[in-house]
Amino acid sequence: MLQKIRQYHFLFSELVKRDFTKKYKRTVLGMAWSILSPLMTLLIMWLVFSNFFGNSMKHYVIYLFTGQLVFAYFTDSTNLCMNALVNNASIFTKVNVPKYLFLLSQNVSSLINFGLTLILLFVFSAVDGVTFTWKFLTLLYPITCLVCFNVGMGMILSAFFVFFRDMQYLWGVVTQLLMWMSAIFYTIEGFSYKIQLLFLANPIYLYIRYFRKVILDGVIPTPQFHLLGAAYALIALALGTYVYRKYNHEFLYYV
């Protein structure tokens, strides 16, 4: 494994560079735009929903922002990663390189976006008067889980996209559905206990909730909560690895 990392380290960094250059088209605005766009979404959401929920809740902006942050990273990463194999077909049908490199390099740029937006979240929190505690450090846990979950989902989706070229549209519908199920702008307190538990079946909601518990409530979630978060990430990763292994030499017939 270590030897592999050393062997492909240079290729990986070159791929990351390429994806970056292409994504931002060598413009400063390109980079700024990727931070501005989640902020604009946040602004719109706040304008629309603060009248409904904002009055009854403290720090509603932060509540919105955490939801938006996690969900945007998820959709950004999965949508980019879906193209990882198809877009690099001209490379892996000619040169024998590990195919997951393309996927990971795509993930790096969305992860950096996520990081920048996360900093903004902390700035907003400070301005909004949220008390910072050492517990914020535990946020590394859901972030790690989320990265693994996104990589796993990206592997599955990119493989599916090779076989079925209408995946983009289907995935668009699925993310729509997930968005409504993730309680980004509303609270789930009004639902019965059973339904509230059901929300935790949605990995994205689970990670959002972790963020909110730590930042807004100042508490660290239960051990069961941690286990469930890790389980989602590991299942996605395992499925993704399985698909890549199984079809490693099949992909080239379909591109």
Partner 1 sequence: MRSVLKVSDVTIRYKYGDFRDIGLKEWTLRHLTHRYHVEHFLAVKNVSFELFEGDMLGIIGSNGAGKSTLLKAVTGVMVPTSGTIERNGRISALLELASGFDGELTVKENAYLRGAMLGYTKKFMNEAYDQIIDFAELKDFEERPFKQLSSGMQSRLAFSIASLVKPEILILDEVLSVGDGAFQEKSAAKMMEIIKSGAVTILVSHSIEQIEGLCTKVLWLNHGEAVALGDTKGICELYQSFLSGNMEALQEASNRFGPAKESLTQGE
Binding residues (CB under 8 A) for partner 1: these are: 7, 10-11, 13-15, 17-18, 21-22, 90-97, 163-167, 170, 249-250, 252-255
Cβ of residue 93: shortest distance to partner 1, in angstroms?
Answer: 6
With respect to partner 1, which residue has the nearer C-beta, 99 or 213? 99
Cβ of residue 14: shortest distance to partner 1, in angstroms?
Answer: 4
Distance between CA atoms of residues 136 and 202, nearest Å: 23
Cβ of residue 59: shortest distance to partner 1, in angstroms?
Answer: 42
Cβ of residue 247: shortest distance to partner 1, in angstroms?
Answer: 12
Q: Tell me the Cα Rg of the chain.
A: 19
With respect to partner 1, which residue has the nearer C-beta, 45 or 252? 252
With respect to partner 1, which residue has the nearer C-beta, 23 or 135? 23
Distance between CA atoms of residues 117 and 72, nearest Å: 10
With respect to partner 1, which residue has the nearer C-beta, 60 or 92? 92
Residue 213 to residues 14, 22, 160, 205: CA-CA distances in angstroms? 39, 37, 35, 12
Nearest C-alpha neighbor of 116 from the set 183, 33, 26: 33
Q: In the chain, which ranges are E strands? A: none
Q: Would you state the torsion angle of the CA atoms of residues 154, 28, 38, 228, taken in this order, to the nearest 10 degrees?
A: 40
Distance between CA atoms of residues 179 and 174, nearest Å: 9
C-alpha torsion sign, points 164, 170, 172, 174: negative
Cβ of residue 236: shortest distance to partner 1, in angstroms?
Answer: 20
With respect to partner 1, which residue has the nearer C-beta, 12 or 124? 12
